[in-house]
């Protein structure tokens, strides 16, 4: 260690040649917000030794001829499980786009597998050309309004906070628990604070004194802002705002006008949830940087918000800048405005160029993981909704948002049962407990444009029970049965025939197939939903997945029934 440090210092002084030197680079200075012209950047081992206009000698020299050298990009909050890819496949996908570090919240797999899920994510992160830090799940289960596969206390998490790759406590979704000082919630917060870790927030539309109470617990960030007023209030109370741009929730356009020279250090970019086709068709953090620039943000600020700001927030002091002692995670780009990544260096090694991977993937390590689909024997009567007095509460989709609305409508009645109504775009929605084989929740949803058939999936935030939507009970049953047979995944049915399916054997969330194979399977699933079932919504699978999440307003469905999220309690399907 001493010899390595001595060598770094000698290279920085210019006494010894550097193993690698970038010559004639335009360096992004994140500290002063400027471009340093005609610079040499010396790299020794995995660190930057020096940045100088006086020149460095190198055993290997790369002439950049005025191209830009910028820090590698960081994603400050994401659930890799939402990509349906394992971490090695996710790395192969995003590294060519310039992402060199991610901070993950594995609460999806933890809600299914508990500590085994966290261990799986930590183990599968090793030896990748992508640094993976973890924020430990704070809400397993997310609420007591659903059936989860595990329950994690502060005691369960304690040993994991000793891990050097753990940097925080992930999004505290149980904001009522914080506000009302729930003992179990506060124990987790106290534990994270005692370890000097960040505590991330999740507080959609929380304002005023309840927001003050939430922040008084030491929660420092939020990625759920969808409006300017909300984000402005949270900024003024000391929060860091994570501007989310995922596959479904896209908040960049609404929140970007808030970013100024004075306050930009309080913002960072995150994806939260991105499907594989979004990664393939648009990219990862580089796509957010490009979009922010197109919307008028200074390119220097855009790159800083995707690198240094995120690293600084998570106390990762050696990441996010092109400067001495910083890790040599570096990108070469021709032009900051177009932000097309030419070369990607990880720990000083070239790992991607022109969108192509140049590293040899580590030998795949087989990590055992148990089966996770355990449903009761289903009968057609499980999905029947007998008519009662009053109207029915229908979940209405809010386009391009995780939010929903409650609308009250007269039901279509057939043989004494409330049924789906394609004429009014009302489909039946079902959530089946896959962890303890006990409960089935049934409701109605509006906004998918479904004309016939059904599909089911084991992706249903956050407990990931089986969720299904359809225009008739027979197809719903067929899709759910196929899900059980393949051990989790997605299945589409029409006229009691399975049209397409995608197995997700890893916790019912992730595929063991390659990124291209998963994308091709998703293309086929999108195709049959659009062409055979008539669904017109942009991302039907992710939209459906969030309809079981009882921590984002307004009306959601779990295996135990309808949830009014603002009241944080179950409500009847019927208003009478």
Q: Of 469, 467, 480, 488, which Cα lies nearest the Cα of 548?
A: 467
Domain finish residue from 287, 321, 355? 321
Q: Region 229-246: what's the mean pLDDT?
A: 97
Mean pLDDT for the chain overall: 95
In a domain, 51, yes or no: no
Condensed to tens digits (0 to 9), the pLDDT of residues 3-36 reads 589 999 999 999 999 999 999 999 999 999 999 9
301 with 394, same domain? Answer: no
CA pair distance 216, 210, nearest whole angstrom: 10
- 496: how many CB neighbours lie within 10 A of its CB? 13
The answer to whether residue 79 is domain-embedded is: yes
pLDDT of residue 539: 86
**Which DSSP category does 50 fall into?**
E
Of the candidates 527, 473, 482, which has an alpha carbon nearest to the alpha carbon of residue 504? Answer: 482
Q: How far is CA 453 from CA 101, 242, 530, in A?
A: 41, 38, 11
Is 243 a domain residue? yes
Strand partners, 333: 68, 341
| Dihedral in degrees, nearest 10, Cα atoms 222, 228, 234, 237 | 150
**Average pLDDT for residues 274-293, to the nearest whole number?**
95
Q: Is residue 144 very low, low, confident or very high in pLDDT (cuts 50, 70, 90)?
A: confident
Q: Which of 321, 356, 371 is the last residue of a domain?
A: 321
* Whether residues 197 and 274 fall in one domain: yes
- What is the Cα–Cα distance from 403 to 398, expressed in whole angstroms? 6
Instruction: Give residue 364's pLDDT.
Output: 67
Structural domain total, the chain: 2
How high is the pLDDT of residue 557?
Answer: 97
Q: Check whether 51 has a pLDDT greater than 60.
A: yes
Residue 216 buriedness (CB in 10 A; 0-12 / 13-18 / 19+):
exposed
Q: Supply 507's token pair.
A: 């916790």
Structure token pair of residue 150: 């595990």
Give the whole-angstrom CA distance, residue 95 versus residue 206.
Answer: 35
Do the domain assignments include residue 248? Answer: yes
**Do the domain assignments include residue 60?**
no
Tell me if 369 is assigned to some domain.
no
Q: What beta strand segments (E) does 389-506 contain? A: 392-397, 404-409, 412-414, 417-419, 426-432, 440-446, 454-457, 466-470, 489-494, 497-503
Cα 335 to Cα 417: distance, rounded to the nearest angstrom: 62
Residue 524 has pLDDT above 50, yes or no: yes
| Whether residues 236 and 115 fall in one domain | yes
The pLDDT, as a whole number, for residue 248 is 83
For the entire predicted model, the pTM comes to: 0.93
The CATH number assigned to the domain holding 114 equals 3.20.20.140
Q: How many other β-carbons are positioned within 10 Å of the β-carbon of residue 126?
A: 12
Q: Chain centroid to CA 486: how far?
A: 25
Q: What is the pLDDT of residue 1?
A: 45
Domain shared by 314 and 395, yes or no: no
Confidence class for position 360, pLDDT limits 50, 70, 90: confident
Same domain assignment for residues 510 and 386: yes
Does 415 lie in the same domain as 519? yes
Over residues 323-359, the pLDDT tens digits come to: 999 999 999 999 999 999 999 999 999 999 999 999 8
* Full domain range(s) for residue 81: 72-321
Decide if 563 contacts 435 (C-beta within 8 A): no
d(CA 504, CA 464): 12
pLDDT beyond 90 at 367? no
pLDDT given at position 561: 96
- Asked whether residue 35 is domain-assigned, the answer is no
> Is pLDDT above 90 for 551?
no
Do the beta carbons of residue 383 and residue 417 sit within 8 Å? no
Structure tokens at 308: 């240094």
Alpha helices (runs of H) in 256-323, residue ranges in sequence order: 276-282, 285-294, 299-305, 308-313
């Amino acid at each position: 260690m001493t010899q390595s440090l001595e060598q770094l210092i000698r290279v920085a002084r210019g006494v010894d040649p550097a193993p690698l030197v970038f010559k004639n680079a335009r360096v992004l200075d994140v500290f002063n917000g400027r471009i340093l012209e005609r610079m040499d950047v010396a790299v020794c081992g995995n660190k930057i030794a020096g940045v100088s206009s006086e020149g460095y000698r190198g055993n290997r020299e790369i002439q950049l001829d005025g191209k830009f050298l910028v820090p590698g990009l960081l994603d400050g909050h994401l659930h890799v499980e939402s990509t349906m890819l394992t971490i090695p496949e996710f790395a192969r996908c995003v590294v060519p786009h310039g992402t060199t570090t991610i901070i993950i919240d594995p609460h999806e797999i933890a809600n299914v597998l508990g500590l085994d899920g966290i261990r799986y994510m930590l183990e599968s992160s090793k030896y990748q050309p992508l640094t993976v830090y973890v924020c430990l799940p704070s809400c397993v289960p997310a609420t007591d309004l659903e059936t989860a596969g595990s329950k994690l206390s502060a005691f369960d998490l304690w040993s994991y906070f000793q891990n050097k790759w753990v940097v925080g406590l992930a999004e505290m979704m149980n904001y009522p628990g914080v506000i009302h000082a729930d003992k179990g919630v506060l124990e987790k917060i106290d534990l994270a604070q005692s370890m000097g870790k960040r505590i991330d927030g999740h507080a959609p539309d929380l304002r005023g004194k309840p927001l003050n109470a939430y922040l008084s617990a030491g929660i420092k960030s939020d990625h759920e802002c969808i409006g300017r007023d909300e984000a402005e209030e949270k900024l003024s109370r000391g929060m860091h705002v994570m501007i989310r741009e995922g596959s479904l929730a896209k908040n960049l356009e609404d929140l970007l006008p808030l970013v100024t020279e004075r306050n930009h250090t309080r913002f960072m970019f995150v994806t939260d949830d991105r499907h594989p086709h979004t990664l393939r068709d648009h990219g990862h953090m580089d796509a957010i940087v490009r979009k922010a620039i197109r919307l008028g943000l200074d390119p220097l600020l855009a790159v800083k918000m995707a690198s240094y700001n995120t690293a600084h927030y998570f106390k990762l002091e050696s990441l996010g800048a092109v400067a001495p002692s910083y890790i040599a995670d570096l990108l070469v780009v021709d032009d900051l405005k177009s932000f097309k990544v030419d070369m990607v260096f990880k720990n000083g090694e070239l790992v991607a160029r022109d969108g192509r991977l140049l590293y040899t993937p580590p030998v795949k390590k087989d990590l055992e993981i148990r089966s996770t689909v355990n449903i009761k024997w289903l009968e057609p009567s499980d999905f029947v909704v007998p008519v009662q007095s009053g109207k029915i509460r229908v979940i209405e989709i809010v386009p391009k948002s995780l939010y929903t609305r409650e609308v009250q409508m007269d039901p279509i009645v057939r043989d004494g049962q409330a049924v789906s109504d394609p004429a009014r775009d009302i489909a039946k929605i079902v959530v089946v407990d896959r962890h303890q084989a006990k409960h089935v929740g049934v409701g109605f949803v509006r906004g998918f444009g479904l004309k016939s058939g059904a599909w089911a999936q084991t992706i249903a935030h956050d407990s990931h029970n089986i969720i299904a939507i359809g225009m008739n009970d027979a197809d719903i049953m067929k899709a759910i049965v196929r899900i059980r047979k393949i051990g989790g995944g997605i299945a589409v049915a029409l006229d009691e025939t399975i049209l397409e399916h995608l197995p997700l054997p890893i916790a019912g969330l992730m595929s063991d197939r390659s990124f291209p194979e998963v994308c091709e399977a998703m293309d086929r699933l999108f195709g049959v939903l659009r062409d055979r079932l008539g669904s017109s919504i942009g991302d039907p699978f992710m939209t459906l997945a969030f309809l079981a999440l009882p921590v984002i307003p307004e009306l959601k469905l779990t295996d135990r029934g309808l949830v009014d999220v603002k009241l944080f309690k179950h409500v009847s399907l019927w208003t009478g």
